[in-house]
Structure 1
């Protein structure tokens, strides 16, 4: 008897360092929740999102009926992780996530919200033992994965490269740098974001006080260094200056947009009830992000 095709998929996200954040920087907790509140996952009726403490669950309440729908669910759940990656770049807030197929149930009683299932248990156990940052994809989702580069990781999981602009430039350049500006196209407008992410991971790997954090950053860095050796070598040699990859000024506008976005999300959570509980003075409500849909 053939194995039944999966009908439900679960994205399990853990915000790393949440306990220390709560003890030492509670305003960052308010910022984290405000960022989570802006995730694209909330805007799509095909998915449900649950947030509790340092955990985010996103899943498809309606069961997948065919491979086309399975492709869609895995694609969009991966993009939800990518969206969180975009929003957290430059914030010194990190996450680890797993995406898998399996049984998951979520419903409400009069006074209780219930969520349970083997997918939740498997995701929880897997996430805790994967020494990495970013997203890992379970083999149950591999037949339906599209548009993202993967690399074998541990057991039944693959590492997901969430920065598609880095992947595009790598493919277009043959991993030889710097490249002429003519190679750079609309496919890599967010490349400064990917470089900032690499720079921050490198800093964590080299200088963070906690050896566990350093180990997670090292694993994440190693995946990128093995996939993009020429790019990584050029960036390290030039202190992560974008001029190491293309002529100076190639991504000037994109770099400015990235800095504006980082500043915007640095202010996220200001003026909320949680933030106000940490201070007696009111703060200015943050403006809209230049990247948010209008």
Structure 2
């Protein structure tokens, strides 16, 4: 079985990390090593340099199995996005389907195939950040909302709690607390703040343009919520005043506490 669903993740700005802060590179690899995918026997992950490849190691003969596979690939990206909060690191990722072969010869890993080449070429042409999915794969996506990006790609919103903010109102903080989603709400809010501040302040115009494109995708999907964020300088207490956000923010490493400045 050579055809697989393939998730291709490119860590952005990796060269600058290697050149300027090797400790952040080590921290990044610790984050990657902690991802949920490594605990899931149905998927395999390959990591090399600034690239993460994740694919299914089981057949997908029916629509239920395809939907299961696509859902988990999106959730793996969501997990990475949450774990990168506060580290000033982001990524661009593509989910595609096609030939992907992986095996070892004398402990040397071999991996290749049309899906890998397609994902690599598609990812390099996207002037944006975040997760993208091909039309074929998106046909099996029944969990995460998407927005058309190009002829064969859709942007995937792995920010389900922002949808709750947008369409269920901003006064149900008690419900978020009861459902145990407080950490996820914080992660999604701070991720959006990270995009906004890099759009406004990044020293490289090409990079800020990529963040601007990402921000616009979120604005189109969550216009009321992002307006609220801007008006309140991304202050989490203004969004859900019922929750003690200061306690949750302590989960973020002190070295990266700057992301709540103004909040």
- Give the TM-score normalised by the residue count of structure 1: 0.81
Q: Who is 2:16 aligned against?
A: 20
Pairwise CA distance, 1:180 = 5.5
Pairwise CA distance, 1:265 = 9.9
Aligned 8 A contact 1:31 1:265 in 2: no
Mapped partners of 1:124, 1:98: distance in 2: 8
* Matched residue count: 253
Provide the aligned C-alpha RMSD in A: 2.0
Cα gap change, 1:232 to 1:26, in 2 (>3 Å) = same
Mapped partners of 2:199, 2:92: distance in 1: 16
Pairwise CA distance, 1:264 = 8.6
Q: CA offsets, 1:90-132, max 9 Å, x none?
A: 1101111001111100000115211000000000000111111
Pairwise CA distance, 1:83 = 0.5
1:245 to 236, 239, 245: 239
2:37 to 36, 41, 44: 41
Cα gap change, 1:245 to 1:54, in 2 (>3 Å) = same
Aligned 8 A contact 1:149 1:167 in 2: no
Q: Who is 1:73 aligned against?
A: 69
Is there any run of 5+ residues in structure 2 with no aligned partner, and where? 257-263
More strand by share: 2
Q: SS of 1:102's equivalent?
A: strand
Aligned 8 A contact 1:168 1:187 in 2: no
Pairwise CA distance, 1:244 = 3.3
Cα gap change, 1:46 to 1:182, in 2 (>3 Å) = closer
Aligned 8 A contact 1:7 1:65 in 2: no
Aligned 8 A contact 2:3 2:100 in 1: no
Query: 5 Å matches for 1:1-294?
Result: 7-173=3-169, 178-179=170-171, 181=173, 184=176, 186=179, 188-189=181-182, 190-246=184-240, 248=241, 250-252=242-244, 256-260=247-251, 262-263=252-253
Larger CA Rg, structure 1 vs 2: 1
Pairwise CA distance, 1:229 = 1.1
Q: SS of 2:137's equivalent?
A: helix
Q: SS of 2:99's equivalent?
A: coil
Q: SS of 2:41's equivalent?
A: coil
Aligned 8 A contact 1:169 1:188 in 2: no
Cα gap change, 1:162 to 1:121, in 2 (>3 Å) = same
Mapped partners of 1:181, 1:86: distance in 2: 20
